[in-house]
Amino acid sequence: MSNHNPSRENFGSKIGALLAAAGSAVGLGNIWRFPILTGQNGGAAFILIYVGCVLLMGIPIMMSEFLIGRHTRANAAGAYRTLAPGTRWNWVGRLAVLSGFVILSYYSVVAGWTAEYTAMALGNCFDGKTTTDFPAMFANFVSNPWRNLFWTISFMLITHVIVVRGVKSGIEKFSKVMMPALFIILVVLAACAITLPGSSKGIEFLLKPDFSKITGSVVLSAMGQAFFSLSLGLGCLCTYASYFRDDTNIGKTALNVSLIDSFVAIMSGFIIFPAVFNAGYAISSNDIGPSLLFITMPNVLEQSFGNIPILAYGVSVLFYFLLVVAALTSTISLHEVVTAYVSEEFRMSRRKAATFVTIACSLVGIVCALSFGPLDGIKIFGMSIFDLFDYVSSNIFLPVGGMLVSIFTGWYLDKKLVHDELTNRGTLRAPYLRLVIFILRYFAPIAIATILLNQLGLFRFF
């Protein structure tokens, strides 16, 4: 079925492959970005559009990335070169690697904050603090270049150590231990949040749609979030699938990864919103901005559980540790996209390639981290460097990458190849095949183009 290269590593088991791919998908996108966007964009109505994007675009595009990766058994750029030699499709792979590089650089900054806050939670630093203390605490931290840089680079180094160990003993082993731990923490925290006295308002916010909030930019955000959260459009899942075994069921894996990812996002909503409402915050205010996890949440945890100090301590440590684990399984996958590319395309050892990637991403990460301190005066299109990276990569690079993947699979690839990969050469049933091809050919490219053109103001459809 696939171009086998015997010296290339594979995941050792199907569950290991599933947990690694789910680890890539589940990350700060679920626990940080999703609740912020939900809070800013009308709660349940936003969630409905988001779920629509996952079902109608996310899952078919994920299947495309999986089949391209497994068939070629190459890094993202090598995969397109193998399938479409000498054509401009090669640029899709290169764009994917570039997006991976950009996202890893700014993602590590927020990942570093989660590590700092875990250390603070462990040191019981939130105990006895009041609502006015937390903004100052966060402002002090992010504007302190050394502390910010220390954590950004530390996070990059931990990612580096795991990636260097390889696919089976690094990525797979780590995901197999950490993903189940993440699910357990998530359920414990949701149980704590739902039992808070004011939680019903938060639950209502998550379940009752207000469609008056839906605008073009809300739809774009929901689509961008679906791509970001599912790790689509930048060759991450394509690279992971290049390590899938021949008997991995691509359709089932894509469905399971998407279900796990959406479950974690919605559970995070059920942890954060009941607690936020319980503490009396107004959802539309700045409290639900990027500082949600670092100003609002420590305060919310302290107010909600502070009368039982040991509970407040335990919940805070678990909450920030959850964030570290989620972020780490994602930074590993982003690092792997670029490392596999550098190692295979420039024929370098994995260790050398990973070192090169770690240094290059750390340098860009430093610039992003400093955009909260010494470089905060620099604005491009009215955004800080950090915000610009986040906006451009998730609202433009990833949807454009996803659109190109879907056109590539729907129109360019041989139907037999697609059929063979999705059915493992006729040994599995794939009754969804025609629907998936229809989505990839028509629905996904047209929907993504419409939403993007509308938002960029080139055409006004809605």
- Contacts with ligand PFF by CB under 6 A lie at 24-25, 27-30, 100, 103, 228-229, 231, 234, 236, 330, 333-334
**β partners of residue 43:** 209
| 264 versus 279: smaller Cβ distance to ligand PFF | 264
443 near 56, Cβ under 8 Å?
Answer: yes
397 near 99, Cβ under 8 Å?
Answer: yes
| 30 versus 148: smaller Cβ distance to ligand PFF | 30
Residue whose CB is nearest to ligand PFF in the complex, by number: 29
| 390 versus 421: smaller Cβ distance to ligand PFF | 390
Sign of CA dihedral 272, 278, 279, 280: positive
| 19 versus 137: smaller Cβ distance to ligand PFF | 19
What three-state secondary structure class fits 380? Answer: strand
Residue 462 DSSP label:
-
- Residue 162 beta carbon to ligand PFF: minimum distance, rounded to whole angstroms: 15
- Residue 241 beta carbon to ligand PFF: minimum distance, rounded to whole angstroms: 13
Residue 410 DSSP label:
I
- Residue 442 beta carbon to ligand PFF: minimum distance, rounded to whole angstroms: 25
| 25 versus 109: smaller Cβ distance to ligand PFF | 25
- Residue 404 beta carbon to ligand PFF: minimum distance, rounded to whole angstroms: 15
- Residue 76 beta carbon to ligand PFF: minimum distance, rounded to whole angstroms: 10
- Residue 175 beta carbon to ligand PFF: minimum distance, rounded to whole angstroms: 13
Measuring CA to CA, which residue among 141, 186, 130 is closest to residue 300?
A: 130
| 137 versus 342: smaller Cβ distance to ligand PFF | 342
Give the whole-angstrom CA distance, residue 43 versus residue 342.
Answer: 41
| 28 versus 430: smaller Cβ distance to ligand PFF | 28
Give the whole-angstrom CA distance, residue 84 versus residue 265.
Answer: 36
The distance between the two most distant Cα atoms of the chain, rounded to a whole number of Å, is 66
- Residue 107 beta carbon to ligand PFF: minimum distance, rounded to whole angstroms: 7
Place of tokens 């009754």: 431
330 near 182, Cβ under 8 Å?
Answer: no
70 near 241, Cβ under 8 Å?
Answer: yes
